[in-house]
Amino acid sequence: MANMFANAAAYEQYIGRWSVRLGRSFADFVSLTDDDKVLDVGCGTGSLVEAILRSATVAEIVGIDPAEGFIEYSRARFPDPRIRFDQGSAFELPYPDGSFDRTLSLLVLMLIPQPEKAASEMRRVTKPGGTVAACTWDGVGPEMSAIVWEELIKLDPSAEARAERLKHCNGKGQLDALWQATGLANVEETMIDMRTDFNSFDDYWSPFLAGVGPTGSYVAGLPPNRRDALAAALRVRLLAGRSDGPISLGARAWAVRGIVSGT
């Protein structure tokens, strides 16, 4: 798993164009205010940090992620003294109780094995009256990767066993239920629809060859002949008879927010 997320630059090319746009919508939903102290749980390459900076003049942002490569990449990307990045786990956040006004997580909870444990930790480190919020992909995730698995399974039905399938926190009401179970108040869930454009087929296809994430790892590990067959099938599907050109694909996400009770 760690190797799938070791190359921060490749990850940014693979999913960054999605998460940056989604992060902006998520930040708007959270309603950040100036002087907030914000924690970004599972910060990755800093897409949500970028969105936070666009949304408000916050006092401090702390990003935490288990991947050393992501932390190093983010530190170089954001030299702002208000921002720092720590390496660590969402299951054991290394911060005292009530440290942050807003504790946020973008595109993390649907991937980890114990989202309830991460949600509990997010609540713990948030001040009474503060906001805890998360955003996850809906269903099987962005169309970008979903269609790769569809074409893979057509070419080789055994690929079904390896298909990237989100198993939790990825459907209507699931984040709401998790936030309610975590003991948060004033819970609100919303849906976010978005699209992302690619300049050409290579612009779409090349990120998968870097081996980032479960889909990229599978594609990069295919024998060359099978990988070429997959590329040909995707080219037919996405270009619909054109030799090349722009491609537009969709994605849907769910976002939730809640308030920590108490004084």
Does 211 map to a domain?
no
Q: How wide is the angle at C-alpha 111 spanned by C-alphas 191 and 159, nearest 5°?
A: 105
Average pLDDT over residues 11-30: 81
First to last CA, the chain: 40
Asked if pLDDT for residue 237 goes beyond 90, the answer is yes
pLDDT of the residue at 10? 57
Does 157 map to a domain?
no
Does 170 map to a domain?
yes
Does 224 map to a domain?
no
Tell the residue number behind the tokens 């629809």, with chain if given: 193
> Which CATH number belongs to the domain containing residue 73 in this structure?
3.40.50.150
List 255's β-bridge partners, or say none: 135, 190
Q: Which two tokens stand for residue 130?
A: 């503060």
Question: Containing domain of residue 17, as a range?
Answer: 2-140+166-197+250-259
Give tens-digit pLDDT for 73-128. Answer: 999 999 999 999 999 999 999 999 999 999 999 999 998 999 999 999 999 999 99
Does 187 map to a domain?
yes
Does 227 map to a domain?
no
Contact 129, 123 (CB under 8 A): no
User: How many domains is the chain partitioned into structurally?
Assistant: 1
Does 79 map to a domain?
yes
Q: Which two tokens stand for residue 84?
A: 């720092």
Does 215 map to a domain?
no
